[in-house]
Structure 1
Amino acid sequence: PSGDGPVTLKAIHATLWRGVNGDAGILIANADTEAHAFTCTLDMAQHGFTGSKWRLESVTTAESKVIGDQDGSTVSITVDVPARDAVLLRISPTQG
């Protein structure tokens, strides 16, 4: 291991965090030269979030848009991540 060999990485990297306001965020980065779909399912209660109604929003450098609303403790999301770009998914508890 001289450090000069090729390195293979996955095209998509993602991380989940919890904001102090109760929102969840998933930051997804695409290092590839092609767009990729990213899909995940989160058990919100398992990650310490309370609530049973969620608003899903996609935020990119170009736009911010509501993806939809979901009920229950499990949230499923699929989003396209453009080539060499990133997407922030915001999951907010809602009343209703």
Structure 2
Amino acid sequence: MLGSRRHDCNDVRPDREGNCEGCACSILRNAERGDMFLLLLKGTAEFLALGPGASPQPTEFKFVRFNRETCCATFTFTEQGPPRTLDFIVDCRCICALSPVSD
């Protein structure tokens, strides 16, 4: 169709506000700083686990901000082992599911 374009997480061109479509983007657009989530990325069957070992636990991500122009969501997470806080930036269109984590 003329004038319509499918957006996915492989796009490298920044989008204008309102082009970050989909369930995850909508949730992140309205999320508050400090909200905690588990993330399921497209093409995977389990929540993202960034810890060491053969079967690490899903990583809990703390929401920091959402950029409506680029569709990038910024989170932080605490690395296992000697704890340190790291940033995790992901295109909201690459997220298949979000699971809120309560404190």
Higher helix residue share: 2
The answer to whether TM tops 0.5 is no
Structure-2-length-normalised TM-score: 0.34
Structure-1-length-normalised TM-score: 0.36
Structure with max Cα Rg:
1
